Amino acid sequence: MTKKFGIIGWPLGHTMSPTLHTWGFGELGINAIYEAWPLEPHDVSTFMERVRTEPVSGASVTIPHKRSVMEHLDRMTDRAKAVGAVNTLYWDGDKLCGENTDVTGLVAPLKKLESLPDSAIVLGAGGAARAAIAGLQELGIDEITVSNRTLEKAEALATDFSVRCVAWDNRMDESPGLILNTTPLGMSGDMEDLTPWDADRFPTKAVAYDIVYNPLKTRFLREAKTAGCVTISGLEMFLHQGLAQFKLWTGRDMDESGARKLLLTTLSS
């Protein structure tokens, strides 16, 4: 029987997840399909019943459902509990489980660095920032600061994860080893010309990590590179969160470099 997977979100817009997983199933000869399922917030309960009855073999979860699916699960991983959000539904026997592979995705390129920075600033305080802070703490980066346009949200996040918080207007006074953008500033469209960091304020030898991946080379990353920083594109996070989902669902490893090539081609077309 063909296994059914998909992604829920609203508005779902364009997502590369179907491209990635469909390619992976094809490469490994797995009899499965992966579809895009736009889902309005008031339909989450009905969808979560369908997951059990149809059944759906697994699903990716994106904005705004990462928290609302949680109450419908039998079990959550410790990591998903720590983040307080789920981006992956999977089955463990007859138990419907929730995991957060955004954390896996976020830490993967950091693990490949020659040495880990010992301090970091996380720009933004939304869902991605929660995954980012959980990931940095998993890596053992102790000195973490969060900064956000809306101060109250940064303060709440700082309290949840016991990290420092600085006002958005004061972020340039910081001199961290890692600058991690989790805001949509720099994303293609209206925000493409924007950046969350001043070009002349990159600390020497800092790592600049942008979780935005479209465009691949955001203004933030271009200016960081010019300033001599090591740069990491959000494509790496997207790729690795997807590889981790695929492994949970199939027990198999998707070919990393083939998948990267696929995403790069898709993005450039």
Known catalytic residues are 66
Q: Which residue, 129 or 227, is less far from ligand NAP as judged by CB?
A: 129
Residue 75 backbone dihedrals phi, psi, to 5 degrees: -155, 150
* In the complex, least distance from residue 268 CB atom to ligand NAP, rounded to whole angstroms: 17
Q: Which residue, 102 or 119, is less far from ligand NAP as judged by CB?
A: 102
Q: Which residue, 32 or 128, is less far from ligand NAP as judged by CB?
A: 128
Closest chain position to ligand NAP (CB): 126
Say if residues 161 and 134 touch (Cβ distance below 8 Å). yes
Q: Which residue, 129 or 207, is less far from ligand NAP as judged by CB?
A: 129
* In the complex, least distance from residue 111 CB atom to ligand NAP, rounded to whole angstroms: 16
* In the complex, least distance from residue 147 CB atom to ligand NAP, rounded to whole angstroms: 9
Q: Which residue, 78 or 152, is less far from ligand NAP as judged by CB?
A: 152
* In the complex, least distance from residue 238 CB atom to ligand NAP, rounded to whole angstroms: 4
Give the interface with ligand NAP as residue ranges (CB under 6 A): 63, 102, 105, 124-129, 148-150, 153, 182-185, 187, 211-213, 234, 237-238, 241
Report cis status (omega within 30 of 0) of the bond before 55: yes
Measured distance CA(55)–CA(185) in Å, rounded: 38
* In the complex, least distance from residue 105 CB atom to ligand NAP, rounded to whole angstroms: 5
Measured distance CA(22)–CA(20) in Å, rounded: 6
